[in-house]
Amino acid sequence: MIKRCIAYGAAMLVILYTFLIYDAEVLSAILILSILYPILSLSWLTLTRKSLRTKRDRVPEMGEEGKEIRAGILLKNLSRYFAIQYEVKIVVTDRNREEKAVKICRGNLAPESSETVWCDFETTECGVLEVSVESIRRYDWFRIFYLTEEKEERSLIKIFPEYELIPMEITRRVREFQADDTEYAQDRKGDDASETYQIRSYREQDNIKDIHWKQTARAGKLMIRERGFPLGCVVLIWIDYPEGKKEKNDFSGMVKNAASLSVTLAEEKCIHLVAWYDDLTGKVVMWRVKTVQDACYMTWNLLDIHPYKRTDWMNECRMECFRGREFAAVIEVDASGRFWQNGQKAEHLRI
């Protein structure tokens, strides 16, 4: 704006010099108009300062990795009498890689009309994108002067990873591992005495301690009470995301591999727990995953993860959170997306 004012002032000096040199009525009119124009322009820009409104209701909440995203910003002219020439600055920021893309859109809005400004961009990695209207400029009639309104309107777009099933071997120990839970299997028995799977007739190999005496008295023969199988989380996926150098961390790879591992276990009917340390709240975030839908919902929340700063705080919270809990297997996913099992890097997962 300062450069425009300097240029306009220089133009006025040229007009004044020409007016003094030449005796022409038209130069008088041009000089008077050039003097009055900044005043009229400022008055008009001030009069229409509340006439332009923006809405971000056409920005999607989610997208998919590798596909094009289209976000729309709705502009509306509330004035009944004045058209508005505008310039909108839209900034798309990759929150995890700290990369920005800027798009400038210009146009003219008739009185009481609206227009959608579209911003198309490609996504190469999963993560969180921030679409913001950084500023709006309103120009006068000849686009000489303008007023800029700073905006703080932001919308987040979560870019989901493309899931890939991970080759792994699930051992019988994991399949038969019983973890405490309030939900029980309907297709197999277990060792949890607090829940009954079914009641059936006595067989020679049955333990006499499992005889259901009330049902035996009613049926007139020995009846056995089979115990329930609790559907607890048998595998723990721990996501370790410390604060460090950006080039050492691969947020997209970490989220993609963790999500793919969770989906793979869900497809294998292996109930598991996905957990990480949230540096903002100082607590461990946990998600129980039973189905693929649960894994997708977990991924949605995983995209909000923030790297932790204090390793000692993280370790203390983790120990306190899982004190007294047992898992058949623990798999760690580091900040680069690599899998670790029993303190060693796992190229092929066998749990």
- Domain annotation covers residue 36: no
**Confidence (pLDDT) at 184:** 40
Domain CATH number, residue 148: 2.60.40.10
Considering the domain architecture, whether residues 219 and 251 belong to the same structural domain is answered as no
**Confidence (pLDDT) at 102:** 86
- Domain annotation covers residue 137: yes
- Domain annotation covers residue 323: yes
Sequence-separated contacts (24+) of 173-179 with Cβ below 8 Å: 173/328, 174/234, 174/235, 174/270, 174/328, 174/329, 174/351, 175/270, 177/234, 177/327, 177/328, 178/229, 178/230, 178/232, 179/230, 179/232, 179/233, 179/234, 179/325, 179/326, 179/327, 179/328
- Taking only the tens of pLDDT, the chain with its 351 residues reads 677 777 777 777 777 767 677 777 777 777 788 888 888 888 888 888 888 888 877 888 888 888 888 888 888 888 888 888 888 888 888 877 777 888 888 888 888 888 888 888 888 888 888 888 888 888 888 888 888 888 777 888 888 888 888 888 878 777 766 665 544 444 455 555 445 455 666 566 666 556 665 666 676 666 666 665 445 667 888 999 888 755 455 888 889 899 998 898 888 888 888 899 988 888 888 888 888 888 888 899 898 888 888 888 888 888 888 887 778 888 899 888 888 887 778 777 887
Considering the domain architecture, whether residues 239 and 344 belong to the same structural domain is answered as yes
Considering the domain architecture, whether residues 300 and 346 belong to the same structural domain is answered as yes
**Confidence (pLDDT) at 185:** 45
Decide which of 145, 160, 175 is a domain's last residue: 160
Considering the domain architecture, whether residues 292 and 201 belong to the same structural domain is answered as no
- Domain annotation covers residue 225: yes
Where do runs of H (alpha helix) occur along the chain? 2-21, 25-47, 172-175, 213-219, 251-267, 292-302, 311-321
- Domain annotation covers residue 46: no
Decide which of 160, 179, 213 is a domain's last residue: 160
- Domain annotation covers residue 183: no
Distances (CA, A) of 10 to 137, 240, 334: 23, 62, 62
Domains in the chain: how many in total? Answer: 3
Residue span of the structural domain in which 313 resides: 233-350
Considering the domain architecture, whether residues 237 and 221 belong to the same structural domain is answered as no
Considering the domain architecture, whether residues 282 and 207 belong to the same structural domain is answered as no
pLDDT tens digits along 292-341: 888 888 899 898 888 888 888 888 888 888 887 778 888 899 888 888 88
Considering the domain architecture, whether residues 243 and 329 belong to the same structural domain is answered as yes
**Confidence (pLDDT) at 199:** 60
Considering the domain architecture, whether residues 57 and 87 belong to the same structural domain is answered as yes
Q: 0.85 cut: is pTM over it?
A: no
Cα angle value 230/180/185 (rounded, 5°): 10
Considering the domain architecture, whether residues 346 and 258 belong to the same structural domain is answered as yes
Considering the domain architecture, whether residues 155 and 246 belong to the same structural domain is answered as no
Helices 2-21 and 25-47 cross at an angle (nearest 10°) of 160
Considering the domain architecture, whether residues 300 and 249 belong to the same structural domain is answered as yes
- Domain annotation covers residue 282: yes
Where do runs of H (alpha helix) occur along 22-163? 25-47
- Domain annotation covers residue 146: yes
Considering the domain architecture, whether residues 304 and 239 belong to the same structural domain is answered as yes
